Structure 1
Amino acid sequence: MPALRRSEIGWNERFRRCLYFFLRDELDSVLITQSLIESYKAFKEKGQEYPFVEMRELKPRAKIHGREYPEHKQFIVIFNEEMLPSDAKLFIRFFDSNKVTKENLMLLSVFDLQDVFHQRMRYFEDTEFVSLLKKLLGADYALLIQRDPSVKARYRFGLSHFHVRIDWPVAAAAQDLGRYLRYVSKDLYEKGEKTGELLQQKLYEYYGFYHTAGGRRTAGIVAARFLARYDFISTVYIASSEARTLIRTSEQGVSKYVLIRVPNSDIEDLAKIAKMKESDFSSAYLIDRAPDYGVGIFQVKYAHNEYSTPPADGKLRELNPEYHWLNVDLQLLIPPPTSGDARPLIYSRVYG
C-alpha cells in the first residue's frame, strides 16, 4: 500500500513527517558526499582515473556490465518514517544481536577498544551521529535508521541496527509488485512461467536497474518493495561500486546520482544561466577542475508511466515486456552539499 498522505495522518504524525523530510535532506547530503565525492578522492589519492558513468548507462533499461571498483564506496541505508513492526523480522533481519550497541559493534569487529562510542551517537540530534554513520557504512549488509519507539522520544530518529540482511525473495517482491500493478491477481505464475519470469525482470526495471544487477542492488530493491507494503514513508539508498552510482528510492520515485565531466563549453553556458562568473560557478558547482572540463554531480529523476502505475479501472491487464516502465523525468546538475546557497540547474545530458 502507498504511504498515507498528509491529509490522512494526525497532527503529531504531520510534525514527525516534517522532521523526517528535513532529516532526509541531511542524509541525502551525507550519502552523496560519502558515495561519490569521497570515492572520487580515493581514486585521485591513488593516482587512478575515475571511471565516470556514461550517459547511456542512465537510460531506462540500460544494461551495465562492469567490474566492481574497490575504491568506490558501496552500501545500503534504509531510512523509515516509523519503527518497523516485529513481524518484519522474518524478512528484514533486525534483532538484538545486530542492534547498534558498543558490545555488538565490537563483537562484529566494526569497533575496537580504541573507539569511543556512547548511545547518544545513534541519534540524528547528536553531533557525532554523522561520524558514526560514516564508520558503519563500511559494514556488510544494510544500515537501518528509524523512529525511536519510546513515547518520550516520539520525534527522534536514530540508527537502530547494522548488519541488516534482506531475506525477502525476489519472486515474492515481483509477485507483490505484479498484484499492485494488476498484472496478476494472486500468484506470480498464475499466467504461466514466462509471465512470472518477466515480472521478476520488470521488478528491476521498476526501480531503475537491469535484471542482471548484482547482489547489493538486488537487496536494495527487494527492501524497497517490501517496505512499500506499509503505510509510512521509507527511503532506500543504494551505493554501487560497479555502477558508480547512488540510487535513492522513495515515495518521490527513483533518482540516480553520479559524477560526470562537464565540458568547458557547458560550464560557460551554465555560468551564464546561473548569472555567475565562471570561476564562481566552478567553486559553487564543481568538485574538481581539469583543463578541459570540470567534475560535477548529476542527478537523474525517473517517473513511472501508465504501464508501471495501477490502472484507473483496477482491472487485470496483460504484461507487454516491450513497454518501458520508467521515463527520464528531470536531469539536474546539483551543487555539492558544501554549496548551501547554490540551486540545482537543469542540465539535459542523458539523450545528448
Structure 2
Amino acid sequence: MQASESASAIAVDDLTRTFRGPQGGVKRAVDGLSLRVERGEMVGLLGPNGAGKTSTVKILMTVLLPTSGRARVLGHDVVAEAQTVRRLTGVILGGDQGLYARLSARDNLLLFADLYGLPYREQKRRVPELLDMVGLSGEARKRVESYSRGMKQRLHIARGLLHDPDVVILDEPSNGIDPVGARELRTLVREQVHQGRTVLLTTHYMFEADELCDRVVVMRDGRKIAEGTPESLKKQTDGQVVLTVHLNGAGEDDVARVRALPGIQSVSLSDRDAGQVLDVHSGLKTDVTAAVLAELRGVSVLQVFKREPTLEDAYVSLISGAPR
C-alpha cells in the first residue's frame, strides 16, 4: 500500500493522554505534545522515567488511544487508519518480550512473516537476508532461549524489518547490552537511516542519541521542554564549566553546600565503580575548583578535572531547570 503524501513522516499535534490514578485523580502522561519527524530523519525522544516517552510511542504504535490531539504516520491517522499505520511501521522493542524462546531465530521470523501476511516466496528471500544482515545466519537454527541479550536485540531488529517498513520505532534497543553489542546495534540502526527509513528512537543513553540522531526532543512530565540537534542543545551550555570530582564519603550535606555556591547551575552525585563522582555545572567564567573543594571538607577527594559540556550535561541542565 502506498503511503499518502505528507510533509512529515511522523506528525504529532497537541497530543494528550490521561490516566485515572489509584486515588481517582487524573494523571497526564502526555500533555499537549507536538513534534515532527521528517522523512529519512532519525529523532531521539529523551526524558526521565515517567516523562511520557513510552505513552507517546504506544500511541504511534496504535496500541494506546490518545485522549485528545492527533498523531499521523506518513499522513495516516493512528486511530482512524490504525491497520495502515501498522503496515507502514516497524516496532523494535527490547528484552525477551515479542520473541518465542523455544523457537529458533529462523522459525520466529517465519512465524511473524506469516502474521504480517508476507507471501511464501517473499519469506524465503526476506528471512535469510535479514538473518545475514543482523549477523545471525550461523545461529539461525538455535533456540532463542540460548541467545545472549545482544543476539535477541539483533533478532528484534530483523523481526521489525520483516515487512520492509518506511518508519521504524526503536524503544531503548541497547538497554542492558554490553558495549560491543551496543556498538554493533548502533551500526545496524544507522544503516536503516542510510537506506532511507525514518527512525524514532527512545533511549536513556545520551552518547547514543548524540552519535545517531539528527535531532532530539527532550520530554518531562508529558511535555516537550527542548528540541534541536545535539550540537544546538550542547551550545545552550556555552559558558558552562563542568567540574568532575572523583571522591569517597560525600553525602547530601556536601552536595547541598556545593549547590549553594554562587554561579553553580547544577550538582549531581552518583556511585561509580568503587567510589563516587560529583559533577558540578558552573555558569561562571572563573575557575570554581577551589571553592568547590573548600566545601568538600572531610571528604576524600581522589581526582579533579574539567571538561567541555556533553549532550548528557545539556540534558541534565534542561531536566533540572524545567518547571514541574
Same fold (TM over 0.5): no
Task: Give the structure-2-normalised TM-score.
Answer: 0.28
Task: Give the structure-1-normalised TM-score.
Answer: 0.27
